[in-house]
Amino acid sequence: MALKQERFREVINNCEHKILNMCKKFSSKEKEQTDMYEKILTNIWKSIDLHQENIEFNIWIYRIAVNSIMGFASKSIYQQKIFLTNEGKYLCSFLNTNNINSEELITVEKELNRLSIIEKIITTLSFESLTSKDIALIIGITEPGVKKKLEKIRVELTKGIKL
């Protein structure tokens, strides 16, 4: 039990900001963010003994976070919209542009929210600076599949804001 608690504290110390950031991307309401965060931590606690050493710890944490967030997708009170906060530099990089104004940011947010839940998750994970390979490991599809989806999303978003 002591080892489990120690590993759990390690998760909190090393990954809390990543988990909170994912929650903030999928809800603008503090209560919902807290609910998601608590659900993710509960799921980490339940499965911490199952972590396999051959899977990178960050990938494992993101996998649990993604699965937990997807669990909220089926609940009508959690609409699973993406909320872009402090995403400017990642968004510019993702869209291959130098600048994006607040009006375009609102448009991009609307376009992102038209995506399927899995496309939203792929996009938000890419905003976390994860590689296509890492994203593929997290969500369980092939790396070429991730690249194809990211390119499709990029095209749709740039068309939506007419860069």
Q: Is 150 or 158 the better-scoring residue by pLDDT?
A: 150
The answer to whether position 79 is within a domain reads no
Average pLDDT of every residue of the chain: 81
The answer to whether position 64 is within a domain reads yes
Number of domains comprising the chain: 2
Indicate if the pLDDT at residue 143 is higher than 90: yes
Find the mean pLDDT for residues 20-44: 88
The answer to whether position 145 is within a domain reads yes
Show the tokens assigned to 154.
């990029």
Indicate if the pLDDT at residue 77 is higher than 70: no
Task: Please write the tens of the pLDDT for every residue from 46-61.
Answer: 988 887 776 788 888 8
Whether 108 and 48 share a structural domain: no
The boundaries of the domain holding residue 136 are: 88-161
Last residue of a domain, one of 48, 73, 98: 73
Indicate if the pLDDT at residue 76 is higher than 60: no
Whether 61 and 104 share a structural domain: no
Indicate if the pLDDT at residue 114 is higher than 80: yes
Can you give the CATH number for the domain in which 57 is found?
A: 1.10.1740.10
Q: What is the pTM of this model?
A: 0.70
Indicate if the pLDDT at residue 163 is higher than 80: no
The answer to whether position 128 is within a domain reads yes
Find the mean pLDDT for residues 91-109: 73
